[in-house]
């Protein structure tokens, strides 16, 4: 199965962002891709999350969500995109990934669990965390995809929960903030999650200057199958469920695992 990663330079112009998504979806479909993944905050992005994010938030079936569904249906391709979703708190939105099938039907919606309160950022000031930490997955053409958003990549237990839920490919839609060692961490963590769980990990990232670019696909052994640079662009690559099964046969870590990691409730004595 061929998938595509669309690397955007999204801004505050929702209409322009949707036009870029439409253009890349058309290109991906013409190259034979059955799914395209776009970055976190693909439909609305700024250098820092601020008070405007809740004001542009919409429900999943609002105008922006409906337009994303139309794009998927028009090009007959599954589409995953970052989306600013309204929440019960009018002062905070959800940082959501939406997945639409080639027929335009909503396949999944994942609200970011781990908010980026790091590097001087305070995403939680204007974004509400997901009300549940349950893994979110969906299927296209017999391949099961799991959803993560940016900072979630630093929490290996979350990727493991998606693997345990049957995922063969993790889609990590990101706006990875630049900084010291951040590029190396982005590439290393994508490969690590692939190796740990014996699956493909596809990182779709915003381009500079907001983010680091370098959207890439890592295979179940951690090798980089395809990668973009810092430019806005599109890359397609193949994922193979037989490869996932073969690697899991040789490294059956999921059945050998003896420890179920949980949050420590008190300091060790």
* SS3 of residue 191 by DSSP: helix
Q: How many other C-beta atoms can be found within 10 angstroms of the C-beta atom of residue 86?
A: 18
Residue 267 lies in a domain: no
244 CB-contact burial (10 Å; exposed 0-12 / middle 13-18 / buried 19+): buried
Residue 268 lies in a domain: no
Phi/psi of residue 89, each to 5°?
A: -95, 110
Closest listed residue to residue 5, CA positions, set 252, 210, 250, 235: 235
- Residue pair 110/134 in contact by the 8 Å Cβ criterion: no
- Asked about 40 being catalytic, the answer comes back as yes
Q: What are the tens digits of pLDDT across the range 117-145?
A: 999 999 999 999 999 999 999 999 999 99
- Asked about 139 being catalytic, the answer comes back as no
* SS3 of residue 239 by DSSP: coil
Q: What is the pLDDT of residue 168?
A: 98
Residue 269 lies in a domain: no
Domain of 33, CATH number, reads 3.60.110.10
- Asked about 112 being catalytic, the answer comes back as yes
- Residue pair 210/174 in contact by the 8 Å Cβ criterion: no
CB burial of 130-163 (b: ≥16 within 10 Å; e: otherwise) equals beeeebbbbebeebbbbbbbbbbbeeeebbbbbb
Q: What is the pLDDT of residue 269?
A: 41
State how far the Cα of 63 lies from the Cα of 57, in Å rounded to an integer.
10
Q: Which residues of the chain have pLDDT under 70?
A: 261-269
Q: What domain range is 150 assigned to?
A: 2-256
- Residue pair 173/4 in contact by the 8 Å Cβ criterion: no
Closest listed residue to residue 83, CA positions, set 63, 57, 106, 102: 57
Q: For residue 68, how far is the Cα from the chain centroid?
A: 16
- The H or E element spanning position 60 is none
Domains in the chain: how many in total?
1
Residue 262 lies in a domain: no
Residue 154 lies in a domain: yes
Residue 266 lies in a domain: no
- Answer whether 0.85 is exceeded by the pTM: yes
Residue tagged active-site, from 45, 85, 123, 150:
150
Residue 261 lies in a domain: no
Q: What is the pLDDT of residue 261?
A: 63
Q: What is the pLDDT of residue 259?
A: 80
Residue 265 lies in a domain: no
Residue tagged active-site, from 85, 112, 173, 205:
112
Give me Rg for the CA atoms of the chain: 17
Q: What are the tens digits of pLDDT across the range 203-243?
A: 999 999 999 999 999 999 999 999 999 999 999 999 999 99
């Amino acid at each position: 199965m061929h998938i595509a990663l669309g690397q955007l330079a999204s801004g505050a112009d929702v209409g322009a962002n949707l036009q870029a998504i439409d253009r890349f979806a058309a290109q991906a479909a013409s190259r034979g891709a059955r799914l395209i993944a776009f970055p976190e905050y693909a439909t609305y992005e700024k250098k820092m999350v601020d008070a405007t994010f809740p004001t542009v938030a919409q429900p999943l079936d609002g105008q922006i969500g409906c337009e994303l569904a139309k794009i998927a249906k028009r090009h007959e391709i599954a589409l995953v995109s970052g989306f600013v979703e309204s929440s019960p708190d009018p002062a905070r939105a959800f940082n959501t990934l939406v997945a639409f099938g080639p027929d335009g039907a909503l396949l999944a919606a994942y609200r970011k669990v781990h908010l980026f309160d790091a590097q001087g950022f305070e995403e939680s000031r204007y974004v509400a965390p997901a009300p549940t930490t349950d893994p979110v997955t969906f299927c296209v053409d017999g391949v099961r995809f799991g959803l993560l958003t940016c900072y979630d990549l630093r929490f290996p237990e979350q990727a493991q929960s998606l693997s345990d839920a049957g995922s063969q490919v993790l889609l990590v839609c990101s706006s990875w903030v630049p900084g010291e060692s951040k590029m190396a961490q982005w590439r290393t963590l994508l490969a690590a999650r692939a190796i740990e769980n014996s699956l493909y990990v596809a990182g779709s990232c915003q381009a500079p200057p907001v983010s680091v670019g370098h959207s890439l696909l890592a295979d179940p052994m951690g090798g980089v199958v395809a990668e973009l640079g810092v430019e806005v662009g599109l890359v397609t690559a193949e994922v193979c469920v037989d490869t996932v099964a073969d690697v899991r046969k040789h490294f059956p870590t999921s059945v050998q695992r003896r420890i179920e990691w949980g949050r420590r409730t008190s300091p060790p004595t």
